[in-house]
């Protein structure tokens, strides 16, 4: 089973959080705020959305930063995904 | 009796919730949050909606994920349906 | 006396609630939430509404489902009516 | 002195409330909620309002139903008027 | 010194409140709510405002009724003025 | 260092408040509400802003009245400036 | 790793706060409100954003003032960035 997003929607999968603070301490995933970094799993076709032409600018596999309060969390086959509109993707991490 | 949606509206029927957690425990429908997965029962004709041309992208029988706070719940002949606008359908589950 | 709605407005009359629960118990009208099913009494002419062309899609006599928080209740000759915009009509019941 | 409304504005004068309940009891004006029925006193010329062309559909002398929370109450020569936009007029009573 | 309003803005000066109640009692200005009647002191040139063409319909010296919660009060040379957008002028008093 | 505003933004510097009440008492700046009168320090180029063509109507050195809750206060080299959009300038004081 | 902003988004890095009050006292960074001055790190390509053509007006390396409540803070490689839309950039500091 897979998610096929409509219009300008994008299916994301949140990256595992494990990062090192500036002073070098490693914080395990649970002890910190979830990062807003995610991997693009599926991209909608774009086209006319809300009466406006939208061109999709991200691709499957991109690592992206998305807007904090955006998106809907869904669960499929025990995996958690976030579906956002492309406008809520702020930047691609390269 | 059946529901014939207007414009960009779509009639959904929520899928029965019965899922297995990652660790393998089966949760019966009542013990968990309702999933946002639903089956498309009827699709409006699209056309001019709120001054914007809308093309319908889902079909009867599709399994879809819809936006959490969207839709109006209606009851007809003892069955419960959700009517949403196509814009509130996030993805098709294939 | 009768109500002649303007623009995309529609005059509805709520259907009497008397329904049977799944388990077969009949609930009289007062013991339950008002259903959102109503009969169309009069339909505005459509045309330019808020700068957008609106075509009317419902007809007098249609049974419709309308959006929960929409509409204005008015009383005329001791009868209660609801006036909604066509956009608040979700589906026709056929 | 008289009020000459601008754009899509309409000057209304509320009808005196005196009505009979279903069971036949007459309620004097003060003992009940104000009805939303009013008489059209003056009609603006329409034209471009907020960047949209508006055609006026009501005429002086029409009895109309207007939206509950719409309008501004003004007093002129000891008489109270309500000024609403045409969009807030729901129906004409004929 | 004088105020030259921009776009669709209008400078108003509130009329002194001194009115007679229906029963004939004269209320001095301080004992009552401020009326929304004002005199037009200066009128902006109109033109493109917020991407929409606006034609000015009021003239210097007009007595107008303006929307209750509209406008900004400013003081110049010890005189108090209200600056509103033309859309907040409901009617001209003639 | 100087501020170069973008689009329809305008850099203002608030005028020092020192005014005489009607009865002739001079209030020093701190004892009263800040006036909304300001001097234009820099004017953005206008052009397409939010999809709408904007022509700038104020010039450097103009004294203007601006909308009470508009603008962002910024500090540069120990001086305080307010940056507003032209739409928030109500009138020029001449 | 670097951030590549989409559409009209801009990646900013806040300038270190260390400033001298008018009376000459130096306040270290922690003792004061964060300034809204930032350096432009990366600029999106502009183009059609929300159905409107956007031309980018800032460049990498510009010092800018941005709107107080705008933007999303993100962390990448232990550095903190703010991503804003160009419309939230008020002025360039030159």
Considering only CA atoms, which of F4, F10, F5 is closest in space to residue F71?
F10
Of B35, B87, B93, the CB nearest to A3: B93
Handedness of CA F45, E52, G88, A85 (dihedral sign): negative
pLDDT tens digits, one per residue of A40-54: 999 999 998 888 889
Cα distance between residue E17 and residue D75, in whole Å: 12
Residue D4 lies in a domain: no
**Span G41-68, average pLDDT:** 93
Higher pLDDT, G26 or E72: E72
Complex ipTM tops 0.90 = no
- Output the pLDDT for position D70: 85
- Asked if the model's pLDDT at residue B24 lies above 90, the reply is no
Asked if D94 lies within 8 A of C2 by C-beta distance, the reply is: yes
**Residues of F at the E interface, defined by Cβ within 8 angstroms:** 19-22, 35-37, 51-55, 57-58, 65, 67-68, 86-87, 89-94
Residue-wise pLDDT tens for chain F (94 aa)? 899 999 999 999 998 755 555 566 555 544 445 557 899 999 999 998 888 889 999 999 999 999 877 889 988 888 999 999 999 999 999 9
Q: Are B29 and B37 in contact (CB under 8 A)?
A: no
Per-residue pLDDT, F30? 45
- Given a cut of 70, whether residue E22 has pLDDT beyond it is no
| Closest chain B residue by Cα to residue A42 | B91
Out of E22, E37, E91, whose CB is closest to D83?
E91
Residue count of chain G: 94
Question: Is B touching C (3+ C-beta pairs, cut-off 8 A)?
Answer: yes
How long a stretch of residues is chain C?
94
Query: What pLDDT does residue C23 have?
Result: 64
* Residue contacts between C and D (CB atoms, under 8 Å): 59
More confident residue, B93 or D27: B93
Following CA atoms D26, D27, D33, D35 in sequence, which dihedral angle do they give, to the nearest 10 degrees?
A: 40
Secondary-structure percent of chain F, ordered helix, strand, coil, rounded to 5? 5, 50, 45
Residue G24 predicted with pLDDT over 70: no
**B37 closest CA partner among B7, B60, B68, B10:** B68
CA distance E29 to chain D (A): 15
Chains that touch D (3 or more CB pairs under 8 A): C, E
- Whether residue G22 has pLDDT greater than 90: no
pLDDT at D64 over 90: yes
- DSSP letter at C41 equals E
Query: Of B17-31, E9-23, G7-21, G54-68, which range is least confident?
Result: B17-31
Q: Write down which chains contact chain G via at least 3 CB pairs under 8 A.
A: A, F
SS3 content of chain C, % helix, strand, coil (to 5): 5, 50, 45
Q: How far apart (Å, rounded) are the C-alpha atoms in residues B67 and B83?
A: 12
Chain B residues with CB-CB distance to C53 below 8 A = 48, 51
B29 pLDDT band, cuts 50/70/90, is very low
Q: Is E41 left (phi over 0), alpha (psi -120 to 50) or beta?
A: alpha
G chain contacts of residue F7, beta-carbon cutoff 8 Å: 57, 87
Q: Which chains touch C (3 or more CB pairs under 8 A)?
A: B, D
E92 and D12 Cβ atoms separated by less than 8 Å: no
Q: How far apart are CA C28 and CA F44, in angstroms?
A: 67
Do the beta carbons of residue A35 and residue A16 sit within 8 Å? Answer: no
Q: Inter-chain contact C91–B50, Cβ cutoff 8 Å? A: no
User: Quick check: G36 and F4 CB within 8 A?
Assistant: no
Averaged confidence pLDDT in chain C: 84
Residue E3 belongs to some domain of the structure: no
Q: pLDDT category, E15, cuts 50, 70, 90?
A: confident
Task: Write the residue in F9, F51, F83 that is nearest to G52 by C-beta.
Answer: F51
For chain A, which ranges sit under pLDDT 70?
Answer: 17-35
Give the SS3 label for residue F64: strand
The whole-number average pLDDT for the span C49-57 is: 90
**What total number of domains does chain A contain?**
1
Strand ranges (E), chain G: 3-5, 9-14, 19-20, 26-27, 37-43, 47-49, 52-54, 63-66, 72-76, 79-85, 89-93
CATH number at residue F58: 2.30.33.40
Determine the average pLDDT of the residues in E11-32.
63
For residue G93, the chain F residues in CB contact (below 8 A) are 1-4, 76
The pLDDT, as a whole number, for residue E68 is: 76
Neighbours of A, requiring at least 3 CB pairs below 8 Å, are B, G
Calculate how close chain E gets to F89, using CA atoms only, in Å. 7
Q: How confident is the model at residue D17 (pLDDT cuts 50, 70, 90)?
A: low
Average pLDDT, chain B: 84
Six token digits for residue G13:
């890095």
**Which structural domain, as residue segments, surrounds residue F49?**
9-93
According to the model, what pLDDT value does residue E16 have?
A: 74
Report the pLDDT value the prediction gives residue D34, as an integer from 0 to 100.
54
Give the nearest chain C residue to D8 (CA atoms). Answer: C50
Q: Going by beta carbons, is chain A in contact with chain G, meaning 3 or more pairs sit under 8 Å apart?
A: yes
pLDDT in tens, C78-94: 899 999 999 999 999 99
Name the more confident of G32 and C12: C12
Asked whether residue C4 is domain-assigned, the answer is no
Cβ distance B50 to C55 less than 8 Å, yes or no, reads no
CA distance E41 to E1: 13
Residue C28 inside a domain? The answer is: yes
Cβ(E31)–Cβ(E20) below 8 Å: no
Beta-carbon separation of E83 and F93 below 8 A: no
Other Cβ atoms less than 10 A from the Cβ of G40: the count is 20
The answer to the question of residue E60 being in a domain is: yes
Q: Report whether pLDDT(C50) > 70.
A: yes
- Residue at B23 is within a domain: yes
Report d(CA F1, CA F6) in Å as an integer.
Answer: 16
Select the residue from E2, E3, E5, E6 to test the F interface by mutation, using most F Cβ atoms within 10 A: E6
Give the other-Cβ count within 10 Å of D74's Cβ.
22
Nearest Cα to Cα of residue C65 among C20, C12, C27: C12
CB contact under 8 A, C36 and B1: no
Residue C26 in this model has a pLDDT that exceeds 80: no
Highest mean pLDDT among B43-52, C16-25, D69-78: B43-52
Residue D20, pLDDT above cutoff 90: no
Q: Which comes out higher in pLDDT, residue F75 or B21?
A: F75
In a domain, B29, yes or no: yes
Confidence category of residue E13, pLDDT binned at 50, 70, 90? very high
Q: What residues in C contact D93, CB-CB < 8 Å?
A: 1-4, 76
D45 lies in some domain: yes
């Amino acid at each position: 089973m897979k998610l096929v997003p409509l219009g300008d929607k994008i299916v994301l999968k949140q990256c595992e959080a494990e990062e090192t603070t500036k002073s070098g301490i490693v914080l395990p995933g649970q002890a910190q705020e979830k990062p807003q970094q995610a991997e693009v799993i599926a991209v909608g076709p774009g086209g006319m959305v809300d009466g406006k032409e939208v061109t999709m600018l991200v691709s499957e596999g991109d690592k992206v930063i998305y807007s904090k309060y955006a998106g809907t969390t869904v669960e499929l086959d025990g995996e958690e995904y976030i579906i956002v509109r492309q406008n809520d993707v702020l930047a691609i991490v390269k």
